[in-house]
Structure 1
Amino acid sequence: MTAFDGEDLVNPEVESEAEVAFEGALRPKSLAEFVGQRKVRGQLQLLLDAAAIQSRTPDHILLAGPPGLGKTTLAMIVAHESNRPLRLTSGPAIQHAGDLAAVLSSLVPGEVLFIDEIHRMARSAEEMLYLAMEDFRIDIMVGKGAGATSIPLDLAPFTLVGATTRSGLLPNPLRDRFGFTAHLEFYETEELVQVIHRAAQLLAVEIDRESLREIASRSRGTPRIANRLLRRVRDYALVDGRGASLEAVRAALELYDVDELGLDRLDRAVMSIILERFDGGPVGLNTLAVSVGEESETIEAVVEPFLVRIGLLSRTPRGRIATKAGWAHFGIPRNADALFGDDL
């Protein structure tokens, strides 16, 4: 069975409306339903309960971690369990202080404002947010030059929930204004089994535990990927007509080019370039990106962290170097003089 190149399940460049709707339907509605992130759930529950007892808005919350671990879902749960309305926006959509002022001035008392990829906001908007988070007030500049006047505008009390995949890019003054920062971790296989089992029940997919574990083991510790793979397995089983057996799961994932470690087409392309064209490295990020025809940001933020985490690749000051495990996984004969990332 040949690999299917029409869709990148693990690292899709653009999510379709159907994918977004699918993931939305599977989102848990409460902390009790949310699987994994046990410590974060307990901390959030305490924060929300304390706010409810004191009849105040919850403290501002920063959710940090890789994509697909549930940051947006947790923001929705915060609003739902606080019985507050939710406003969603993103950092790239806020490119001027005026964009943020328009959002903040229209918030109703107690509203939860979710800003995804908050580290990508314009600097002028970040500086406006400092005062808004601390004093629920912003200063609006009217006029230009020497005649410009600052007019203070009071805001309704609100809770800001910021999500970021790169917390190190947030300026300290902004990070310090969050009352609680949660760091989301990758999921263990058994936790992903629970995630997929819940999704399978909602999708009316009959699947045994061994098949659930097979999907979970290839999901890169990420619920979003696990649910996406389940959907493709469901489609394969529907067309094949033999149900979601272990054989069908393996055949479906082979068809969509997801191997036993969870590597996809782009992961293998990166490793192939390093191993075969550069004798295992070192290779600079920009050279690697050009070689595989992808943006360097995609390689650095999506592909590289996973390859490093599972021990196939190492980052060094000189560039990216394949480890002995990387050579072994791809079964490529090693040059006797090759460097190994795990020996550095």
Structure 2
Amino acid sequence: MTDPLVSAFASDEDMVADQSVRPKRLAELIGQHRVREQLDLLLQSALRRGSPPDHILLSGPPGLGKTTMAMIVAAELGAGLRMTSGPAIERAGDLAAVLTSLSLGDVLFIDEIHRIARPAEELLYSAMEDFRVDVVVGKGPGATAIPLDVEPFTLVGATTRSGLLTGPMRDRFGFVGQLDFYDPDELELIIARSARILDVPITDEGAVEIGRRSRGTPRIANRLLRRVRDYAEVRGNGVVDLAAARAALRVYDVDELGLDRLDRAVLLALLRQGGGPVGLSTLAVAVGEQPDTVEEVCEPFLLRSGLMARTPRGRIATAGAWQHLGIPGPAGTVGGGNPAGGLSSTPGLFDL
């Protein structure tokens, strides 16, 4: 049985490590070249004018650096940063309290902004456009709206589900940045940088192996680096090399394409239904997870890797999924060929 104190300590250690490897400036940011250039123009222009930049919306799958970019925006502007999340703002009054406490030029970061409560969202409209909020006091016919001024600020919203944002909310952002998955070469540079910061001895081959199994996501790359470091310290010579990376990732159920046990369970559930189509809810029940988890955590990478496809009738497995899991597929499966740029898979590599 795991000691809860040990688990809490490990979690805190990972959190500290995550904070330490985050880039602090745009110049330190690796990858996302288009968004980085656009942000640089936006921020430099605002600094020259001496006024806060337009509100910024960052969208993309989890782990690509939306929170890091919000921190960088505040650092580049030399402004204060306030952080909250959409689910934490349940009432308009909660948001009003945050907005009225902002200082001139502050950056307000709202993570998962698509989950903000509707009354709070409507209050945010006037704050974003006119830097004013109307707080309603009382109920019924005697209710009174008290206008309160808000210091000019920059809102940075982050979302993993941009399609769930309302039109009025999206239209109020002056800049929208779509973050893409990272290339293995970029992840290799991120891993090498993180290894230097965390003082982890690593070889080029070890960084390449971890990078290509990181699902195009820096958060996963940094997490795998720490787990391979643990393996190398306990069962190896302390150096994260190719052999240590392969052995450690086998222990942690990360296969050649970067799929973990849940990803493979999703694919296997599809294959057990003849490759689909299978509805999202049915798929989630089959793997014992919430539909949101399957849709937001597993699907983006499975779709990008060509292992899964969406159709109007549901999710289907492609020929690449059958091949990757080492199961003979029926004739006429979608998307033949090796997935993810020709990486081959080993049938029976993991117990499913």
- Tell me the TM-score normalized by structure 2: 0.90
1:268 matched to 2:264? The reply is yes
1:216 matched to 2:211? The reply is yes
- Paired residue for 1:54? 49
- Paired residue for 1:231? 226
Matches of 1:214 and 1:118, distance apart in 2 = 35
Mapping 1:139-178, distance limit 5 Å = 139-178=134-173
**Partner-residue secondary structure (3-state), 1:186:** coil
Matches of 2:170 and 2:277, distance apart in 1 = 35
- Paired residue for 1:9? none
Residue 98 of structure 1 deviates from its aligned partner by: 0.7
Matches of 1:183 and 1:308, distance apart in 2 = 17
**Partner-residue secondary structure (3-state), 1:185:** coil
Deviations 1:81-120 (A, max 9, x none): 1111100000000011011011001111111100000000
1:255 to 247, 251, 254: 251
**Partner-residue secondary structure (3-state), 1:342:** coil
Matches of 1:234 and 1:16, distance apart in 2 = 16
**Partner-residue secondary structure (3-state), 2:227:** helix
Residue 341 of structure 1 deviates from its aligned partner by: 3.3
Deviations 1:282-319 (A, max 9, x none): 21111111111111111111112211110111111222
Deviations 1:251-298 (A, max 9, x none): 0000000001000000111111211x2122221111111111111111
Residue 17 of structure 1 deviates from its aligned partner by: 3.2
Contact 2:82 2:108 in 1 (8 A): yes
- Paired residue for 1:44? 39
- Paired residue for 2:133? 138
2:311 to 295, 303, 316: 316
1:192 matched to 2:187? The reply is yes
**Partner-residue secondary structure (3-state), 2:83:** strand
1:21 to 16, 22, 25: 16
Residue 335 of structure 1 deviates from its aligned partner by: 4.0
Contact 2:181 2:217 in 1 (8 A): yes
Deviations 1:178-215 (A, max 9, x none): 11111111101111111001001111112111211111
- Paired residue for 2:286? 291
- Paired residue for 2:95? 100
Matches of 2:153 and 2:91, distance apart in 1 = 21
Matches of 2:92 and 2:273, distance apart in 1 = 46
- Paired residue for 1:340? 333
Matches of 1:311 and 1:143, distance apart in 2 = 55
Contact 1:31 1:77 in 2 (8 A): yes
Deviations 1:30-83 (A, max 9, x none): 000011111111111111111111111121111111111111001001111111
- Tell me the TM-score normalized by structure 1: 0.92
**Partner-residue secondary structure (3-state), 2:224:** helix
Structure 1 unaligned spans of 5+: 1-5, 7-14
Contact 1:315 1:341 in 2 (8 A): no
**Runs in 1 of length 4+ with deviation above 6 angstroms?**
none
Contact 1:91 1:120 in 2 (8 A): yes
Matches of 1:163 and 1:172, distance apart in 2 = 16
**Partner-residue secondary structure (3-state), 2:274:** coil
Instruction: State the number of aligned residues.
Output: 327
Output the amino acid matched with 2:319: K
1:80 matched to 2:75? The reply is yes
Output the amino acid matched with 1:268: R
Output the amino acid matched with 2:187: L
Contact 2:236 2:244 in 1 (8 A): no
Residue 333 of structure 1 deviates from its aligned partner by: 2.2
- Paired residue for 2:84? 89
Deviations 1:113-163 (A, max 9, x none): 000000000001110000000000001112211121111111111111101
Residue 249 of structure 1 deviates from its aligned partner by: 0.6
Structure 2 unaligned spans of 5+: 3-9, 337-352
Output the amino acid matched with 1:288: L
Contact 1:321 1:340 in 2 (8 A): no
Matches of 1:97 and 1:109, distance apart in 2 = 21
